[in-house]
């Protein structure tokens, strides 16, 4: 393997760790990023002659730190960084063992997902800094203009600096809430990938993969129940991606999917993470949703699915995390367990709150269709159609409408 | 780092309080200040008279324009401020949580901007 290929691989696998530690050592996102790139360039120049160092990550961090300090000198912002310069000649207080590297990655996650940043900024920053996507890739994933994303990231970094958002893992008291926020960001990234809210494609594989990668990393760094549950949920949902769409990009619903196309190794992995999560009660909403996804993943068909247990899990979910969308999903499970009439009844209290949500009308239309109440089904499909901008969803609803 | 914690609440909630509730809230604020001061976080702070006592002053083309009330009508009104000393935003947030009106209104936490040295 050439040094170039080796470095390329190292960049893929380790650049985020190097960056996370450099941000701590240099105290500045921009500077750390530049310094990291310079360190990789230096490696490309020096390693062919000097050989690959024993600990390449430590070499890159050390080189990056020196590049960063040089940069500070060049910028002549001595006043702000006096302390850093004083420390320069001394050996590093914290050696680069695996623990400090892991801590730095957690610090980076908690900083990118700090609730004092706007949610959109948290998403963009996480994709940029944690996943290492370019601004263009982030923009593509989030269906925004690159200039918008670039500005969001610049503003977020400015706020981190000016408001002194610390580079740290929150203390025990604040941790549960802050972790909840991190998981929310990861799941948002996943869902952005799973179904973009506009446009022609239902699945943007890239972002879902990034979210799963983040989920795996979090499981290594902070294996709390809901962290494991979220990874299980994402793996189980993502295992269906090959079956969710026709080659033409049309949507296929769960009951009509070719289940032989579900990704079995990924299902097995998801089930294993779910077992870990279940072994650490109390469980939260991600773990419960994973448990529901697991029941689907293990069923041969919609008819053979354990709807009694799924409806029970939705009851539990609704109790610990009440939300109209969960109540909507619960009504679908009830309709499968007790018939479409029961589904309609469960939908009724949600109609006002979710009146602009196309899936409510799609579910209602489906219940009417199964009850053979065709005019009502037709009206509901039409309302659903008017409320979604997503082309595959529109085509699906039109097909249903035509089949009545 | 210095942070200004701006205390906002709906004055209508305060106006609807019994005398006892109002008294208790004030005592809690006094205790809060004492606690922050003891821990070295309190630099300055004051409660404000209700927004109806406010006057807005603008100078345009050398002319002073005076008008009644605050510049913008908002749902919650500025009720007071704390100037705090904190290590970073996380600590400032933890201090802001302790300010009693956080439970009935909101606290806006803003870092202080140092002015450049005089010419």
Give Cα B52 to chain centroid, integer Å: 16
Domain with A47 in it:
3-96
Tell me how close the Cα of B90 comes to any Cα of chain A, in angstroms.
Answer: 7
Which DSSP letter does residue A239 get? T
| Model pLDDT, residue B16 | 95
Do A105 and A67 lie in one domain? The reply is no
Domain count of chain A?
2
Do A150 and A47 lie in one domain? The reply is no
Would residue A213 count as lying in a domain?
Answer: yes
Query: Among residues A172, A168, A32, which one has the least CA distance to residue A109?
Result: A168
The answer to whether A163 contacts B111, with C-beta atoms less than 8 Å apart, is yes
Do A183 and A155 lie in one domain? The reply is yes
pLDDT in tens, A65-115: 999 998 888 876 555 555 555 455 455 545 566 677 788 999 999 999 999
The answer to whether A162 contacts B111, with C-beta atoms less than 8 Å apart, is yes
CB of B94 within 8 Å of any CB in chain A? yes
Do A85 and A113 lie in one domain? The reply is no
Give Cα A299 to chain centroid, integer Å: 26
Would residue A381 count as lying in a domain?
Answer: no
Query: Among residues A136, A112, A132, which one has the least CA distance to residue A36?
Result: A132
Q: Which 3 state secondary structure label does DSSP give B72?
A: coil
pLDDT in tens, A15-51: 999 999 999 999 899 999 999 999 999 999 999 999 9
Tokens of B44: 């300055």
Positive/negative CA dihedral, A244, A247, A249, A252: negative
From A96, A121, A137, give the residue that closes a domain.
A96
CB A347 within 8 A of CB A328: yes
Q: Tell me the C-alpha distance between A311 and A292, whole Å.
A: 9
CB of B30 within 8 Å of any CB in chain A? no
Would residue A205 count as lying in a domain?
Answer: yes
Q: Tell me the C-alpha distance between A397 and B22, whole Å.
A: 58
Do A53 and A154 lie in one domain? The reply is no
**CB burial of residue B72 (10 Å; 0-12, 13-18, 19+):** exposed
Q: Global pTM?
A: 0.86
| Model pLDDT, residue B32 | 97
Do A108 and A131 lie in one domain? The reply is yes
CB B10 within 8 A of CB B75: yes
Q: Which 3 state secondary structure label does DSSP give A81?
A: coil
Q: In A, which residues are within 8 Å of B113 by CB distance?
A: 162
Task: Please name the residue ranges forming H helices in B1-119.
Answer: 11-15, 19-38, 89-97
Tell me how close the Cα of B63 comes to any Cα of chain A, in angstroms.
Answer: 35
- In the block, which residue shows the tokens 């068909």? A301
**In this structure, CATH architecture of domain B2-51+78-111:** 2-Layer Sandwich (3.30)
Q: Give A142's contacts (C-beta < 8 A, 6+ positions apart).
A: A120, A123, A124, A127, A149, A192
Q: In B, which residues are within 8 Å of A163 by CB distance?
A: 89, 110-111
Would residue A382 count as lying in a domain?
Answer: no
Tokens of A351: 């109609």
- How, if at all, do strands B42-47 and B2-9 pair? unpaired
**Residue of higher predicted confidence among A204 and B77:** B77
The answer to whether A116 contacts B1, with C-beta atoms less than 8 Å apart, is no
Do A72 and A141 lie in one domain? The reply is no
Question: What is the per-residue DSSP string for A152-214?
Answer: HHHHHHHHHHHTT--SSPPPTTTHHHHHHHHHHHHHHHHHHHH--SSSS-S--HHHHHHHHHH
Would residue A20 count as lying in a domain?
Answer: yes
Size of interface A-B (CB pairs under 8 A): 25
Tokens of A368: 């009417």
Q: Tell me the C-alpha distance between A242 and A263, whole Å.
A: 8
Q: Tell me the C-alpha distance between B56 and A189, whole Å.
A: 45
From A96, A115, A146, give the residue that closes a domain.
A96
Query: pLDDT below 50 — which residues of chain A?
Result: 86, 89, 93, 196-199, 205
| Model pLDDT, residue A390 | 82
Would residue A294 count as lying in a domain?
Answer: no
Q: Give B113's contacts (C-beta < 8 A, 6+ positions apart).
A: A162
pLDDT in tens, B79-112: 999 999 999 999 999 999 999 999 999 999 999 9
How many residues would you count in chain A?
Answer: 404
Q: What ranges do the domains of chain B cover?
A: 2-51+78-111
Peptide bond into A282 cis (omega under 30): yes
Do A105 and A213 lie in one domain? The reply is yes
Q: Say which CATH number the domain at A47 has.
A: 1.10.1740
Centre a 10 Å sphere on the Cβ of residue A108 and count the other Cβ atoms it contains: 24
CB A96 within 8 A of CB A18: no
Do A84 and A54 lie in one domain? The reply is yes
- If phi > 0 it is left, if psi is from -120 to 50 it is alpha, else beta; for residue B97 that is alpha
Q: Tell me the C-alpha distance between A132 and A18, whole Å.
A: 12
Q: In A, which residues are within 8 Å of B91 by CB distance?
A: 166
Tokens of A171: 């203390």
């Amino acid at each position: 393997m050439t040094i170039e290929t080796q470095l390329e691989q190292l960049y893929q696998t380790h650049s985020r760790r190097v960056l996370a530690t450099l941000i701590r050592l240099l105290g500045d996102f921009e500077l750390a990023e530049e310094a990291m790139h310079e360190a990789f360039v230096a490696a490309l120049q020096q390693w062919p002659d000097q050989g690959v160092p024993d600990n390449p990550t430590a070499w890159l961090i050390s080189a990056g730190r020196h590049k960063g300090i040089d940069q500070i000198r060049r910028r002549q912002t001595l006043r702000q960084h006096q302390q850093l310069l004083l420390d320069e000649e001394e050996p590093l207080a914290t050696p680069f063992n695996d623990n400090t590297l892991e801590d730095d990655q957690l610090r980076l996650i908690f900083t990118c997902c700090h609730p004092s940043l706007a949610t959109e900024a948290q998403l963009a920053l996480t994709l940029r800094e944690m996943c290492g996507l370019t601004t263009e890739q982030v923009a593509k994933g989030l269906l925004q203009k690159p200039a918008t994303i670039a500005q969001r990231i610049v503003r977020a970094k400015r706020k981190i600096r000016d408001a002194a958002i610390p580079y740290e893992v929150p203390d025990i008291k604040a941790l549960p809430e802050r972790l909840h926020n991190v998981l929310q960001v990861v799941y948002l990234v996943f869902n952005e990938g799973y179904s973009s809210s506009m446009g022609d494609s239902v699945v943007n594989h890239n972002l879902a993969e990034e979210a799963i990668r983040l989920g795996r990393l979090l499981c290594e760094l902070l294996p709390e129940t809901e962290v494991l549950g979220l990874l299980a949920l994402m793996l189980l949902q993502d295992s269906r991606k090959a079956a969710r769409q026709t080659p033409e990009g049309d949507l296929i619903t769960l009951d009509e999917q070719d289940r032989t196309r579900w990704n079995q190794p990924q299902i097995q992995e998801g089930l294993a993470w779910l077992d870990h999560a279940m072994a650490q009660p109390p469980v939260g909403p991600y773990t419960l949703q994973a448990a529901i996804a697991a029941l689907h993943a293990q069923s041969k068909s919609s008819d053979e699915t354990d709807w009694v247990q799924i409806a029970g899990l939705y009851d539990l979910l609704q109790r610990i995390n009440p939300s109209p969308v969960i109540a909507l999903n619960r009504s679908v499970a009830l309709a499968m367990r007790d018939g479409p009439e029961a589904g309609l009844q469960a939908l009724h209290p949600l109609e006002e709150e979710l009146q602009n949500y196309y899936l409510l009308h799609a579910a209602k239309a489906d219940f009417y269709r199964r009850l053979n109440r065709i005019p009502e089904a037709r009206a509901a499909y039409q309302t659903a159609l008017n409320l979604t901008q997503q082309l595959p969803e529109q085509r699906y609803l039109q097909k249903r409408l035509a089949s009545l | 780092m210095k942070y200004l914690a701006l205390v906002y609440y709906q004055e209508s909630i305060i106006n609807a309080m019994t005398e006892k509730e109002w008294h208790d809230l004030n005592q809690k604020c006094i205790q809060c200040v004492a606690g922050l001061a003891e821990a070295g976080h309190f630099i300055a702070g004051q409660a404000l008279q209700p927004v109806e006592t406010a006057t807005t002053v603008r100078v345009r083309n050398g002319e002073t324009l005076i008008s009644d009330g605050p510049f913008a009508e908002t749902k919650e009104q500025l009720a007071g401020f704390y100037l705090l000393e904190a290590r970073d935003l996380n600590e400032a947030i933890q201090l802001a949580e302790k300010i009693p009106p956080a439970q009935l209104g909101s606290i806006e936490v803003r870092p202080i901007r140092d002015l450049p040295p005089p010419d």
